[in-house]
Amino acid sequence: MEEKKDEKSFSIGRLDIVDLYEWKNSKKLVYKTYFQRQFVWKEKDKKDLIDTIMQGLPIPAIFICDAGTDYTTLSKKYNVLDGRQRLESIFEFLENQYTYKKRYFKDFTEDEKKVILNYNITLIQMYVDPDDTERIKEIFKRLNKNAYNLNKMEKQSTQLVEYDYMIIAKIVSGIVKFENIESYLEEIHELFSDDEDKDEDSVEITEYSEMEEEAIPDEVKEICTWDNIEHINALLTNNMIFSSYDRQRQVALQYFLNIFTCILKGEMINRNVSEKTIIELSDVSKETIGKKLIECNKACEKILGIYEDIDDFWKNKTSFFTLCYVMTMTKSEKTTKEIKDLLEEFKNSNSEKWQQYYEASNQGVNDKKVRETRVELLKNIIA
């Protein structure tokens, strides 16, 4: 009896960018988004990708699967399972939607264009029925876990996304564009609702299948107006404090949650905000959260001014944490220049208090007592 051979579950191939762009224009590439992770790529991220390509360095593979065959035109379509942001960033550059080193693609020399168009991208085709949502869901979960392990913040931010406090934090920190929040909620819940990989100290989360698909509350939308969050968002999304990699790993989101939780509680918390606290703070009145968000945004407007011309020490994550908390809570009347001068004078003093602050900024930075030390020392300087 002939032994049955195992069917391949995937195959690996390669295509030049010019071929992928032809696929895009002939509608061979489709985005049945399923469970795409919706990081918000800033223009800097896109330019970094183009820079990688121009230098001939590798980028991660694109995962695709069959999306059906058109038996009239005798052509196949492919759905992008993972890598949509990379592909769209490349296509946007080819269509002159942003510049690289101050030049559009149309302004490149022929040799430079060849470097881009002939760049080879690895394609991994998964053999799965395009309508087999459960199988695709499983593949996507494994892709994202194997590509790099989700850190605790990434798990928290998806598992707790039905709670108002997490929704607000993700909008403020630029993880999700406000206009896309509804579809993001639906997709992310389907991906993680049955995830059994929980921390021992995690709380039980109601499964999405048991919840009604309600619109985002109007109160949350009112809180997250651009006027209320623009300066916080600027500090969390530019490269002054948090790198592109930090933002992708949701480190900026973690910092905002930690800082704003301290602001709401009026005291330092130990290490990172817990799932239980995120759930509890979702029940705080939206009027209170909105008021504190406005105060934090005003403080961040001053911080942006301070950061225009100051020693990089004050732009690290730890000092940003302390500055944001102190300036929000004290509502200092001092001007941006006055605060900047005081911080520089403090740093250059080499006093005992400066040594205390410096040590508290470099050792055990997330410990509650160390945070309190930094806050007290800085409050005495700029309040």
Whether 110 and 156 map to the same domain: the answer is no
Q: In the sheet where 10-16 sits, what is the strand order?
A: 10-16, 120-126, 62-70, 75-82, 29-30
Query: Do 229 and 351 fall into the same domain?
Result: yes
Distance CA 169, CA 157 (A): 9
Whether this model's pTM surpasses 0.75:
no
Which residues form the domain of 60?
Answer: 10-146
Task: Please write the tens of the pLDDT for every residue from 236-286.
Answer: 988 889 887 777 778 899 999 999 999 999 999 998 888 888 889 988 999
Q: Report pLDDT for 170.
A: 86
66 plus 152 within the same structural domain: no
**Do 168 and 251 reside in the same domain of the chain?**
yes
In a domain? residue 5:
no
Question: To the nearest whole percent, how much of the chain has pLDDT over 70?
Answer: 77
Task: Evaluate whether residue 4 is within a structural domain.
Answer: no
What confidence score (pLDDT) does residue 179 get? 53
Question: Helix, strand, coil shares of the chain as percentages rounded to 5?
Answer: 55, 10, 35
Same domain, 285 and 369: yes
Same domain, 153 and 142: no
The pLDDT value recorded for residue 365 is: 82
pLDDT of residue 114: 94
Domain count, the chain: 2
Q: Of 91, 112, 146, which closes a domain?
A: 146
Q: What is the pLDDT of residue 127?
A: 81
Residue 2 lies in a domain: no
Three-state secondary structure call for residue 280: helix
Question: In this predicted structure, what is the pLDDT of residue 165?
Answer: 87
Domain boundary among 97, 114, 146: 146
Intervals of the chain under pLDDT 70: 1-8, 32-41, 130-131, 133, 137, 139-162, 176-217
- Is the distance from CB of 277 to CB of 284 less than 8 angstroms? no
